[in-house]
Protein backbone atom coordinates (compact mmCIF):
# COMPACT_ATOMS: atom_id res chain seq x y z
CA UNK A 1 0.00 0.00 0.00
CA UNK A 2 1.27 3.43 -0.92
CA UNK A 3 1.13 5.95 1.92
CA UNK A 4 1.15 9.74 1.59
CA UNK A 5 3.98 9.98 4.11
CA UNK A 6 6.22 8.01 1.70
CA UNK A 7 5.85 10.73 -0.92
CA UNK A 8 7.62 14.07 -0.95
CA UNK A 9 6.54 17.65 -0.20
CA UNK A 10 4.66 19.61 -2.87
CA UNK A 11 7.64 21.89 -3.59
CA UNK A 12 9.72 18.90 -4.71
CA UNK A 13 7.30 18.19 -7.56
CA UNK A 14 7.71 21.71 -8.93
CA UNK A 15 11.20 20.67 -10.08
CA UNK A 16 11.34 16.86 -10.31
CA UNK A 17 9.23 13.75 -10.73
CA UNK A 18 9.12 11.01 -8.10
CA UNK A 19 9.18 7.29 -8.88
CA UNK A 20 8.49 4.33 -6.66
CA UNK A 21 7.06 0.85 -6.52
CA UNK A 22 4.73 -1.27 -4.45
CA UNK A 23 5.37 -5.02 -4.43
CA UNK A 24 1.95 -5.76 -2.91
CA UNK A 25 0.22 -4.12 -5.87
CA UNK A 26 2.85 -5.48 -8.29
CA UNK A 27 3.30 -2.04 -9.84
CA UNK A 28 5.62 0.87 -10.29
CA UNK A 29 4.56 4.50 -10.35
CA UNK A 30 5.71 7.97 -11.30
CA UNK A 31 4.26 11.22 -9.95
CA UNK A 32 4.97 14.54 -11.64
CA UNK A 33 3.74 18.09 -12.03
CA UNK A 34 2.24 18.45 -15.49
CA UNK A 35 1.00 21.46 -17.45
CA UNK A 36 -0.95 20.81 -20.62
CA UNK A 37 0.77 22.66 -23.49
CA UNK A 38 -1.20 25.36 -25.27
CA UNK A 39 -2.32 24.56 -28.81
CA UNK A 40 -0.12 26.05 -31.52
CA UNK A 41 -3.00 28.23 -32.74
CA UNK A 42 -3.73 29.69 -29.27
CA UNK A 43 -3.82 33.47 -29.08
CA UNK A 44 -1.60 35.51 -26.78
CA UNK A 45 -4.67 36.15 -24.59
CA UNK A 46 -5.19 32.44 -23.92
CA UNK A 47 -4.55 31.75 -20.24
CA UNK A 48 -2.01 29.10 -19.37
CA UNK A 49 -3.52 25.85 -18.11
CA UNK A 50 -3.26 25.13 -14.39
CA UNK A 51 -0.63 22.59 -13.35
CA UNK A 52 -1.86 19.18 -12.20
CA UNK A 53 -0.39 16.14 -10.55
CA UNK A 54 -0.07 13.29 -13.02
CA UNK A 55 0.40 9.75 -11.75
CA UNK A 56 1.46 7.03 -14.14
CA UNK A 57 1.33 3.40 -13.05
CA UNK A 58 2.49 0.24 -14.82
CA UNK A 59 3.17 -3.41 -13.98
CA UNK A 60 6.54 -4.43 -12.56
CA UNK A 61 9.40 -5.15 -13.14
CA UNK A 62 10.74 -2.52 -15.53
CA UNK A 63 11.52 1.17 -15.10
CA UNK A 64 9.48 3.94 -16.72
CA UNK A 65 11.98 4.30 -19.55
CA UNK A 66 12.17 0.54 -20.21
CA UNK A 67 8.40 -0.09 -20.20
CA UNK A 68 6.21 -0.13 -23.30
CA UNK A 69 4.02 3.01 -23.03
CA UNK A 70 0.99 0.90 -23.96
CA UNK A 71 1.15 -0.48 -20.40
CA UNK A 72 0.95 2.97 -18.75
CA UNK A 73 -2.21 4.10 -17.00
CA UNK A 74 -2.33 7.80 -16.07
CA UNK A 75 -4.54 9.86 -13.81
CA UNK A 76 -4.54 13.60 -13.07
CA UNK A 77 -5.56 15.52 -9.95
CA UNK A 78 -5.20 19.21 -9.00
CA UNK A 79 -1.70 20.29 -7.97
CA UNK A 80 -2.42 20.55 -4.25
CA UNK A 81 -2.11 18.53 -1.08
CA UNK A 82 -5.67 17.30 -1.61
CA UNK A 83 -4.79 16.32 -5.18
CA UNK A 84 -1.77 14.35 -4.01
CA UNK A 85 -3.92 12.55 -1.43
CA UNK A 86 -6.44 11.72 -4.18
CA UNK A 87 -3.61 10.32 -6.33
CA UNK A 88 -2.50 8.09 -3.46
CA UNK A 89 -6.06 6.75 -3.12
CA UNK A 90 -6.30 6.14 -6.89
CA UNK A 91 -2.91 4.40 -7.04
CA UNK A 92 -3.89 2.11 -4.17
CA UNK A 93 -6.92 0.98 -6.16
CA UNK A 94 -4.68 -0.21 -9.01
CA UNK A 95 -3.51 -3.82 -8.87
CA UNK A 96 -1.39 -5.60 -11.44
CA UNK A 97 -1.05 -8.90 -9.59
CA UNK A 98 -1.99 -11.99 -11.56
CA UNK A 99 -4.64 -12.94 -9.03
CA UNK A 100 -6.40 -9.54 -9.24
CA UNK A 101 -9.91 -10.29 -10.45
CA UNK A 102 -10.59 -7.16 -12.46
CA UNK A 103 -7.18 -5.62 -13.15
CA UNK A 104 -6.35 -1.90 -12.93
CA UNK A 105 -9.12 0.66 -12.46
CA UNK A 106 -9.06 3.24 -15.23
Flag whether pLDDT at 10 surpasses 50.
yes
Task: Read off the pLDDT band of 24 (50, 70, 90).
Answer: confident
Mean pLDDT computed over 16-24: 93
Measured in degrees and rounded to the nearest 5, phi and psi for residue 18 equal: -130, 130
Beta bridge partners of 28: 21, 58
Query: Could you tell me the sign of the dihedral formed by the alpha carbons of 16, 77, 74, 87, in that order?
Result: positive
Confidence check: pLDDT of 79 > 60: yes
Q: What is the mean pLDDT of the chain?
A: 90
In what helix (H) or strand (E) does residue 84 lie, and over which residues does it extend?
Answer: helix 81-93
Amino acid sequence: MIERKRLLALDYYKKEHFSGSDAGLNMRYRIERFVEPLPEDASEDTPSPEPVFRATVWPEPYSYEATDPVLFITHNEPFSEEGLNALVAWMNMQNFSEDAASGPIL
